[in-house]
Amino acid sequence: MVQDSIRVLQTQGYKVTKPRRQVLEILEEAQESLSPYDIQRLLRRQGKHLNHVTIYRILDLFCSLNLAHKLLSTGRFVKCSLGDKEGCHRFMVCHRCGTLQEFADERLCQEENGFARNFDFHTEYHLSESSGLCSNCYRKQHQKQENA
């Protein structure tokens, strides 16, 4: 996974530096999305010290290469799980535990584009995040209500 991203960096002519590796690894490990300062704190706990400016610049680069995404709803970052290809990447985010699923669906895009045409709007890309509960958190929530 991290290897794939490293290969993208290389083939695009970017250096594979220690800070870039470290940010990749942190994003890979994380179950939830991370803010730039979250990343700095997590790395510091591992004895790795990165300047926040560096983290910002690395995240910018990763996003431009589609190795990571900046979530709209929170501004936090996640590692892309669909590869670095172009296209519309959508998210389902659990608002309880923060875990998320990335997916792409051509039909949804078609539908949205069709709707937009009615308004004479020329869509270039879709930004889409659904908020809700993952199966785990839904089950927990449900059990609580039964016991209450």
Distance, C-alpha 136 to centroid of its chain: 20
| Residue numbers 55-94 binding DNA by CB under 7 A | 56-58, 75
d(CA 6, CA 24): 9
β-bridge pairing 90-94 and 77-79: unpaired
* Closer by beta carbon to Mn ion, 50 or else 62: 62
d(CA 96, CA 89): 22
* Closer by beta carbon to DNA, 56 or else 103: 56
Stretch touching DNA by CB under 7 A, among 7-15, 90-98, 113-121, 133-141: 7-15
* Closer by beta carbon to Mn ion, 70 or else 140: 70
Dihedral of CA 34/35/36/37: which sign? negative
Stretch touching DNA by CB under 7 A, among 29-37, 103-111, 128-136, 140-148: 29-37
| Residue numbers 51-90 binding Mn ion by CB under 5 A | 80, 82, 89
Residues 6+ apart with CB under 8 A from 127: 72
* Closer by beta carbon to DNA, 16 or else 72: 16
* Partners of 68 in the β-ladder: 79
Binding site for a second copy (CB under 8 A): 72-73, 75, 92, 94-95, 101, 103, 105, 107-108, 111-112, 115-116, 119-135, 138
